Amino acid sequence: MSDDDKYLNGELLINARKPEGELGSELIDMMNENHEGLAQWSLSHLNISKNDVVLDVGCGGGVNIERFLKMTEAKVFGIDYSKLAVERSVELNRKAIDEGKCEIIQGSVSNLPFEDDSFNIVTAFETVYFWPEFENDLKEILRVLKDGGIFFIANETVPNENDSRQKDLIELLDMNLYSEDEFKRYLLEAGFLHVTCFTKDSKDSFTGDDADWICVIAKK
Ligand SMILES: C[S@@+](CC[C@H](N)C(=O)[O-])C[C@H]1O[C@@H](n2cnc3c(N)ncnc32)[C@H](O)[C@@H]1O
């Protein structure tokens, strides 16, 4: 079976929700590589300064943690509820962890093991689709952000009635897609002060099908 077949029949893709086992590890390899374009485009909209303490939620294979370690001199944290994702992120960022510059923890966004007002920037790449209680989870992000801090979301899928694959994908992964308007509404209702969205007509990083990318910058 080719990688594309496995992706389409869901055997591999199911691991996007919570990577586990051999296929989970295979998907992490693919995400680390395939999400590069989304990360580069979306992060061109975010200023990270050398004193910013950063948390990446749903860190997957840890490439964005590795990226942030090159952008800030402050500590970079990662969290993911998948044991495998944490292991892979730790493996990739071992040197920074040993030097005390990085910490990666297994845990859920719904109950972040951090003090109030801990971070300048919290990021979420391709993960908010799976968060179990979006309104409460946003309040949890708000709690751990410092005043003036930024919550940054990057997704490569937005709701699109004309995309026939989306219904299957949503069912398979039990995921929630959010439009620009929905992001704004949820974030403002959660208590963020200001929300800006950027979009781009692009391609799905796995199938190459047309896809709309979105990134969201929400200020506490
Ligand atoms: C599609 S992967 C994206 C991984 C990585 N951010 C990237 O862009 O390659 C989604 C990740 O979010 C994690 N995740 C999903 N729901 C979560 C939750 N409630 N709390 C913490 N992590 C979660 C999954 O375990 C998975 O590693």
Mean of all residue pLDDT scores within the chain: 93
Mutate which of 127, 135, 177 to test ligand 1's pocket (most atoms within 8 Å of Cβ)? Answer: 127
Give me the number of domains the chain comprises.
1
Q: What is the pTM of this model?
A: 0.95
Asked if residue 119 belongs to a domain, the reply is yes
Asked if residue 167 belongs to a domain, the reply is yes
- What is residue 26's predicted lDDT score, i.e. its pLDDT? 94
What residue type is assigned to position 46 of the chain?
L
Asked if residue 25 belongs to a domain, the reply is no
- What is residue 166's predicted lDDT score, i.e. its pLDDT? 85
Judged on CB neighbours under 10 Å (0-12, 13-18, 19+), 196 is exposed
- The Cα–Cα gap between 144 and 214 comes to 23
Asked if residue 141 belongs to a domain, the reply is yes
Would you tell me how many other CB atoms lie within 10 Å of the CB of residue 122? 28
Q: What is the pLDDT of residues 124-154, one digit of tens each?
A: 999 999 999 999 999 999 999 999 999 999 9
Asked if residue 201 belongs to a domain, the reply is yes
User: Residue 205: which CATH number?
Assistant: 3.40.50.150
Q: How far is the CA of 164 from the centre of ligand 1 (A)?
A: 24
Task: Evaluate if residue 11 carries a pLDDT over 90.
Answer: no
Q: How far is the CA of 177 from the centre of ligand 1 (A)?
A: 14
Task: Evaluate if residue 7 carries a pLDDT over 70.
Answer: no
Asked if residue 41 belongs to a domain, the reply is yes
Asked if residue 100 belongs to a domain, the reply is yes
Q: Using an 8 Å Cβ cutoff, are 45 and 72 in contact? A: no
Q: What is the pLDDT of residues 154-213, one digit of tens each?
A: 999 899 888 878 888 899 999 999 999 999 999 999 999 999 999 988 777 777 777 789
- What is the extent of the structural domain holding 65? 35-219
Task: Evaluate if residue 1 carries a pLDDT over 60.
Answer: no
Asked if residue 27 belongs to a domain, the reply is no
> Which H or E run includes 55?
strand 54-57
Q: How far is the CA of 130 from the centre of ligand 1 (A)?
A: 7
- The Cα–Cα gap between 126 and 112 comes to 18
Q: What is the pLDDT of residues 91-115, one digit of tens each?
A: 999 999 999 999 999 999 999 999 9
Mutate which of 66, 80, 109, 152 to test ligand 1's pocket (most atoms within 8 Å of Cβ)? Answer: 80
